[in-house]
């Protein structure tokens, strides 16, 4: 086992008393009918990556939006960076949201802006100098391997490229929390692996806490069983039987959180739904 | 069952009016509180103002022409064709310039605003903007509403001028009357109260078309079909409200400036 792998597999899990970056307590969300989310409680600790699993339509994306106040819960409370945002006015939420990065399911790039302006959107609003913006955009695009798309419009990019640009946009501001909403949904296996590699790179190089929504088990396991090797500048598998201790799992079923634990606990769970999902 | 449907529809209408009032009031307040996105205001002014110029010039010119044709035909029965200029200028400045421009610009821009914002909603671009720490109300809605107000004011002046020019062209080339007399009558009988009346209206119409376009765009649901629905609602509602507001303003201003 090389030293990096050893570090990845033996680094301690977040201390239980550390202030969580995100904490949800008994959160329920409904839209003109029965609740989409029912009494969800979990937290994301500093440096932790949580993978939210569940079939399509169980409320994974709704949960992600509730975390940064894009949707308000009818019950329960949401804490972001230690502040209760459940009833916080929209105006006060903007500075907190600016500290997070989110990658939407389809990228949600602004189609009237170039890739440069999309990635630099936050910096432009803050009136950062053009030279600084250009430098940081090129840096962010180089992180996702898309330097040559600088002047292109989103319409001329493939689905996978759009997701990578969305990741660059989420990362350019050095966020303190990253939310990924099905970042590999609808993509081919090769592009999916490229996206997962970027997420692993961000996790291992910057230790940014993250929550990734997915229904693809393969992506979740790849994220858990791999580490980023800076020397080879690529993702490499951890030794057999090891997994990243700071990457844990959540599972939703019909709006309820039915699992919260490590990879080991997930694969050995006796819950009927978890078993069915894994098989 | 029928009562239940009426009750539900009535509640939905009241709720929509309440939401629209809060929405447009928020947009209005944003213009006096920083940050104000001046660049977006200028871009929208170019799209709404300069972009609408051809339709406003053409519709204004031909409306003035039609007014001159119709009025000359009627006035000739009384031997009063000399007042064609007065008739065209008063009608254009007090009423038709503002209303026609409002409806033409509404057809072009309320639809474009609603479909643009609606597409952004259904593709999560609005959520992305909120997630990036930028208020879409300030960045997208307020500049569009105030660009509509400013540009409709200026476009109405253009429409008035083109209408009078159209009337003069018909008077001189088709009715073979004296052009100097036309312009003299058009100018002499125009009062400040007429101009005030004609220039207050576009300010209100601009606000109506901008805010309704943004309102329906921002509350779009249901994917691309929803975008189409929002676009239709924006055009129909803004056109009807423009005519309704025109009636209210005319009634109010006639009591202030009796003819």
Looking at the structure, do residues A202 and A251 belong to the same domain, yes or no?
yes
Residue pLDDT, tens place only, A127-146: 899 999 999 999 989 888 88
The residue out of A119, A139, A174 marking a domain boundary is: A174
> Please, are residues A21 and A81 in contact by the beta-carbon 8 Å criterion?
yes
Structural domain includes residue A117:
yes
Could you tell me the residue range of the domain that residue A268 belongs to? 44-72+87-99+178-279
Q: Tell me whether residue A162 is in a domain.
A: yes
ipTM of the complex: 0.83
CA angle B68, B60, B198 (to 5 degrees): 95
Residues A194 and A95 in one domain: yes
Residue A4: its pLDDT value, please? 37
Higher pLDDT, B4 or A13: B4
Distance of CA A96 to the CA centre of its chain: 16
Q: How close, in Å, is residue A173 to chain B by CA atoms?
A: 10
Mean pLDDT across A72-94? 91
Beta-sheet pairing, A100-103 with A35-44? unpaired
A100 touches chain B (CB under 8 A): yes
- For A91, nearest residue in chain B (alpha carbons): B135
Q: Does A121 touch chain B (CB under 8 A)?
A: yes
Tell me how many residue pairs between chain A and chain B have CB atoms under 8 A apart: 51
Q: Which of A174, A206, A222 is the last residue of a domain?
A: A174
Give the total residue count for chain A.
279
Q: Which residue of A has its CA nearest to B116?
A: A112
Report the chain B residue with the minimal C-alpha distance to residue A172. Answer: B132
Give the dihedral sign, CA B209/B214/B216/B222: positive
Q: B-chain residues within 8 Å CB-CB of A97?
A: 130-133
- The answer to whether the Cβ–Cβ distance between A102 and B124 falls below 8 Å is no
Residue A154 tokens, joined: 């989103």
Sequence-separated (6 or more) residues with CB below 8 Å from residue B259: none
Q: Do B128 and A108 touch (CB under 8 A)?
A: yes
A26 lies in some domain: no
Using DSSP, state whether B208 is helix, strand or coil.
Answer: helix
| % of chain B beyond a pLDDT of 70 | 99
Read off the pLDDT of each residue in B150-175 and give the average, rounded to a whole number.
93
A160 falls within a domain: yes
- Is A183 in the same domain as A279? yes
Domain shared by A49 and A187, yes or no: yes
From A142, A174, A206, the end of a domain falls on A174
CA-based nearest residue to B131, from A59, A101, A106, A71: A101
A189 and A30 in contact (C-beta within 8 Å)? no
A37 domain-assigned:
no
Could you tell me if A156 and A60 lie in one domain?
A: no
The C-alpha R_g of chain A, in whole angstroms, comes to 18
Asked whether residue A243 is assigned to any structural domain, the reply reads yes
pLDDT of amino acid A77? 93
* CB contact set of A179 (below 8 Å; sequence gap of 6+): A64, A67, A68, A100, A101, A102, A103, A210, A211, A212, A213
Of A97, A110, A122, the CB nearest to B125: A110
Would you say B198 and B93 are in contact if contact means Cβ atoms under 8 Å apart?
A: yes
A273 band by pLDDT with thresholds 50, 70 and 90:
confident
Give yes or no: residues A129 and A51 share one domain: no
pLDDT digits (tens, 9 = 90+) for B189-217: 888 888 998 999 999 999 999 999 999 99
Q: Which percentage of chain B shows pLDDT scores above 90?
A: 68
Same domain flag for A154 and A51: no
Interchain contact, B132 vs A97, CB within 8 Å: yes
* Angle between helix A189-206 and helix A217-225 axes, rounded to 10 deg: 40
- Residue A7 binned pLDDT confidence (cut-offs 50, 70, 90): very low
SS3 A26: strand
- Whether residues A167 and A217 share a domain: the answer is no
Residue A3 — pLDDT band, cuts 50, 70, 90? very low
Predicted structure pTM score: 0.85
Spatial contact of A277 and A216, defined as CB atoms under 8 Å apart:
no
E strands, A57-193, are 75-80, 83-84, 100-103, 177-181
Domain count, chain A: 2
| Calpha distance B150→A170 (Å, rounded) | 36
Residue B66 has a pLDDT of 93
- A100-103/A177-181 β-pairing: parallel
Q: What is the pLDDT of residues B84-93, one digit of tens each?
A: 888 899 999 9
Q: Are residues A182 and A265 in the same domain?
A: yes
B124 CB neighbours in chain A (<8 A) are: 104-106, 108
Q: A125 to chain B nearest CA, in Å?
A: 8
Domain presence at residue A24: no
Please tell me whether residue B33 adopts helix, strand or coil conformation: coil
* pLDDT value of residue A2: 38
Residue B151 scores a pLDDT above 90: yes
| Confidence at residue A266, expressed as pLDDT on a 0 to 100 scale | 87
Nearest Cα neighbor of A110 from A141, A163, A154, A46 is A154
Say whether A108 and B127 touch across the interface (CB within 8 A): yes
Residue contact A98–B132, C-beta within 8 A:
yes
Residues of A in contact with B127 (CB under 8 A): 65, 70, 104, 108
- Angle value at C-alpha B58, between B54 and B64, nearest 5 degrees: 145
pLDDT at A6 over 80: no
Q: How many residues does chain B have?
A: 259
Query: A199 and A275: one domain?
Result: yes
> How far is residue A77's CA from residue A25's CA, in Å, rounded to a whole number?
5
**Dist CA A74 CA B95 (whole Å):** 50
- A111 vs B123: CB contact, 8 Å cut-off? yes
Instruction: Find out whether A273 and A253 touch, Cβ atoms under 8 Å.
Output: yes
A231 and A188 share a domain?
yes
Pair (A127, A253) in one structural domain: no
A-chain residues within 8 Å CB-CB of B12?
A: none
B1: confidence class by pLDDT, cuts 50, 70, 90: low
Residue A93 falls within a domain, yes or no?
Answer: yes
Q: Which residue among B125, B129, B131 sits closest to A68, beta carbon to beta carbon?
A: B131
Question: What mean pLDDT comes out for the span A230-251?
Answer: 88
Q: What is the domain-level CATH number for residue A233?
A: 3.40.50.300
């Amino acid at each position: 086992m090389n030293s990096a792998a050893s570090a990845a597999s033996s680094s301690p899990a977040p201390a239980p008393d550390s202030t969580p970056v995100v904490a949800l307590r008994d959160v329920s969300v409904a839209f003109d009918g029965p609740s989409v989310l029912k009494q969800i409680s979990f937290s994301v600790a500093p440096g932790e990556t949580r993978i939210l699993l569940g079939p399509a339509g169980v409320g994974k994306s709704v949960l992600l939006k509730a975390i940064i106040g894009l949707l308000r819960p009818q019950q329960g409370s949401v804490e972001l960076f230690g502040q209760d945002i459940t009833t916080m006015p929209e105006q006060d939420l903007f500075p907190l949201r600016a500290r997070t990065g989110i990658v939407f399911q389809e990228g949600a790039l602004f189609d009237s802006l170039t890739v440069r302006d999309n990635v630099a959107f936050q910096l432009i609003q803050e009136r950062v100098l053009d030279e600084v913006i250009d430098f940081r955009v090129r840096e962010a695009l180089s992180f996702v391997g898309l330097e040559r798309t600088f002047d292109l419009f989103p319409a001329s990019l493939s689905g996978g490229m759009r997701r990578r640009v969305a990741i660059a946009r989420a990362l350019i501001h050095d966020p303190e929390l990253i939310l990924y909403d099905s970042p590999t949904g609808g993509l081919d296996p090769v592009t999916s692996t490229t996206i997962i590699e970027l997420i692993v790179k961000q996790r291992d190089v910057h230790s940014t806490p993250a929550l990734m929504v997915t229904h693809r088990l393969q992506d979740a396991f790849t994220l858990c069983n791999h580490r980023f090797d800076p020397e080879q500048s690529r993702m490499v598998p951890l030794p057999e039987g090891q997994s990243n201790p700071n990457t844990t799992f959540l599972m939703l079923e019909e709006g309820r959180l039915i699992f919260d634990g490590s990879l080991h606990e997930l694969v050995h769970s006796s819950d009927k739904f978890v078993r069915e999902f894994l098989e | 069952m029928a009562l239940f449907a009426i009750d539900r529809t009535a509640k939905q209408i009241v709720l929509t009016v309440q939401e629209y009032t809060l929405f447009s009031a928020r947009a209005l307040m944003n213009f006096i509180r920083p940050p104000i996105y001046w660049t977006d205001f200028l871009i929208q002014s170019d799209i709404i103002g300069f972009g609408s110029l051809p339709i406003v010039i053409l519709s204004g010119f031909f409306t003035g022409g039609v007014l001159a044709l119709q009025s000359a035909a009627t006035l000739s029965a009384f031997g009063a064709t000399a007042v064609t200029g007065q008739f065209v200028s008063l009608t254009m400045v007090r009423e038709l310039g503002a209303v026609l421009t409002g409806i033409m610009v509404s057809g072009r821009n309320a639809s474009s605003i609603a479909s643009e914002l609606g597409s952004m909603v259904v593709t999560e671009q609005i959520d992305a903007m909120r997630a990036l720490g930028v208020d879409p109300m300030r960045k997208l809605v307020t500049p569009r509403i105030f660009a509509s107000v400013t540009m409709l004011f200026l476009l109405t002046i253009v429409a008035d001028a083109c209408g009078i020019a159209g009337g003069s062209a018909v008077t001189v080339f088709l009715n073979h009357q004296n052009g100097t007399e036309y312009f003299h009558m058009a100018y002499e009988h125009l009062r400040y109260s007429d101009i005030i009346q004609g220039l207050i209206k576009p300010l209100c119409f601009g606000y109506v078309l901008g805010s309704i376009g943004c309102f329906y765009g921002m509350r779009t649901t249901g994917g691309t079909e929803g975008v189409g629905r929002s676009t239709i609602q924006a055009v129909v509602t803004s056109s009807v409200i423009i005519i309704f507001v025109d009636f209210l303003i005319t009634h109010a201003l006639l009591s202030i400036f009796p003819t």
